[in-house]
Chains A and B, each alone.
Chain A
Amino acid sequence: MGALIQETLPSWTNGSGSGYGSGSGYGYGSGSGYGYGYGYGYGSGSGYGSGYGSGSGDGYGDGSGDGYGSGDGYGDGSYWRSCIKYFAARWLPMQRKRLAELKRAKAKIAYWRSDSEGRPANGGRADPVKPGDIQREKGPLQLCNKGTLHATLLPPKWKGERWWIVALKGEVVGDDDKYGALEREIIGECL
């Protein structure tokens, strides 16, 4: 690695890798004990530990971790928004034209993830999608609600084998993490 130019480690880099802990208690009678563990290091991901003890009064635990676990990140909404044109460059001209139309119409352009068949992968049921499909729900318009269609500008946060660029139309609620609307148009897949 080259020189560190700025260095204030983000809090989420603490606790990466793996952490564990254990606890135990002993004694007579009844009571409770506790223990704890922790992990630390560099890299995202999570380390944790827990422990408990039982018995009379005291229990203890300890834990350790290292900074060499795997990690993940979400990026941010502006990055993924900027990537839309990368994916659109691989589409058919009619799909790019539709994207431009929807942008002009002030639709919220974002991502949606599906399973391998194009069905919802984060809750809900629907038929497999393809570019050009328009989905509608009756509401109420409320995030995480069954009657609301969703999209995101932080696609790595969500599950799903296939990524799609979609347009949410009409009233849109939420933020980069999760948007909701009653109408969603599938524009194209992220290939």
Chain B
Amino acid sequence: MKERAVLVTTLHRGVFFGYAKETKGKTIKLRSARCCIYWPASTKGFLGLASDGPLDGAKVGPAADIELRDITLVAECTPAAVAAWEKSPWAR
């Protein structure tokens, strides 16, 4: 199964970016997952993180391989968003 770049939200205030092969189940394994701690209003809602990625002022955690539970939404990310996520430094 082809790996895709996705934005995943959880019931526990988690907003994650990462790469997943399987996205239909109750749990999702994300490779190189990054948590968005804060996104500015210019993102125009959290789905802007899937369309444009983190913008200036966003705070993003470091990358880790994780398994997420209590999934509420999975959205495919655009190439522009992927590039923005990948170049965002870890920020408190």
Measured CB to CB, the residues of A under 8 A from B are 1-13, 16-17, 41-44, 67-76, 78-80, 82-83, 85-87, 156, 161-163, 190
Contact = CB atoms under 8 A, between A and B. Distances in A.
Contact of A75 (B16, B75, B90, B92): B16
Candidate in A1, A4, A9, A156 with the most chain B CB atoms within 10 angstroms: A1
A156 B65 CA distance: 19
A82 B64 contact: yes
Interface of B: 6, 9-16, 23-24, 33, 35-41, 43-48, 50-51, 61-68, 71-78, 81, 90, 92
Given A73-B15, A82-B65, A156-B37, 18 more contacts: A1-B75, A2-B77, A4-B73, A5-B24, A5-B74, A6-B73, A8-B73, A10-B9, A10-B73, A17-B45, A42-B46, A75-B15, A75-B37, A76-B14, A79-B33, A79-B64, A79-B66, A83-B62
Contacts of B46: 13, 16, 42-44, 71
Given A72-B37, A73-B15, A83-B62, A5 B6 contact: yes
B62 A2 contact: no
A13 B38 contact: no
Contacts of A163: 92
Contacts of B43: 43, 70-71
Given A5-B6, A16-B45, A86-B63, A79 B73 contact: no
Q: Sort A-B residue pairs by CB-CB distance and give the 10 closest, nearest first.
A: A2-B76, A82-B64, A1-B51, A75-B35, A5-B74, A42-B45, A10-B72, A1-B50, A43-B45, A86-B62
Contacts of A17: 41, 45
5 contacts: A1-B77, A10-B72, A41-B45, A73-B36, A79-B35
Contacts of A43: 39, 43, 45-47
A44 to B, nearest CB: 6
